[in-house]
Amino acid sequence: MIARSMHPQEFDLTINLLEYYRDELQDTDARTAEQWDTNSVIATVRKYAAHTNTCWFNLYEGQRPVGCLSGCFVSCPWNKDLVNANIDLVFVMKSHRSYEAVNTLVTKFEEWAKQVDINKITITDTGFDRELIEYYSHLGYAQDQWMTKEI
């Protein structure tokens, strides 16, 4: 498997891949699955694939995308010169999910971040997925906590 930027002609295949993600959310995060809006997903993929401070990488088995990662550069609010790279979303189809698959995507993201001298990566896409947290830990990431409150 290889990870690389999505080519424009692979856009529809990528949207189809994300429908697998949506379907999996039915079991793990029903609220997000219920909020799913395909038009928003399409706009997000276009945005992440087109801007220099964002990225969209697909994981391929042959010509078929079986996973993806999206991320961006984020300036710290207290100092615009402090820039981190953030992984927003990682998804690998269950049939291809493994440490190797996640490692391939994350390594590609780390290479992208290093190109502009980023030295810190944050990850917001962990949720309560113990398997994903374990993968990130094996890759050298330390667990951190996000807190939320619905109002």
Q: Is the pLDDT of residue 107 over 80?
A: yes
Which pLDDT belongs to residue 19? 92
Q: What's the pLDDT tens digit per position in 34-59?
A: 888 999 999 999 999 988 889 999 99
Q: How many residues does the chain have?
A: 151
**Per-domain residue ranges of the chain:** 2-138
Residue 141: partners with Cβ closer than 8 Å, 6 or more residues away: 121, 123
Percent share of the chain, pLDDT over 70: 91
- Cα dihedral 93, 21, 110, 72, rounded to 10, equals 170
- Grade residue 122 by pLDDT with cuts at 50, 70 and 90: confident
CB of 58 closer than 8 Å to CB of 67:
yes
Of the candidates 104, 18, 21, the residue with the CA atom closest to the CA atom of residue 59: 104
Q: Does domain 2-138 have CATH number 3.40.630.30?
A: yes
Q: How high does pLDDT run on average in the chain?
A: 86
Is residue 17 within a helix (H) or strand (E), and if so which, with residue range?
A: helix 11-28
Q: Is the pLDDT of residue 13 over 50?
A: yes
What is the CB-side half-sphere exposure of residue 29 using CA atoms within 13 A?
Answer: 13
Q: What's the pLDDT tens digit per position in 80-106?
A: 888 888 888 899 999 998 999 999 999
Helix ranges (DSSP H) in 29-129: 30-35, 38-50, 99-114
What does the pLDDT average to over 10-19? 92
- Grade residue 149 by pLDDT with cuts at 50, 70 and 90: very low
CA distance 102 to 108: 10
CA distance 16 to 91: 13
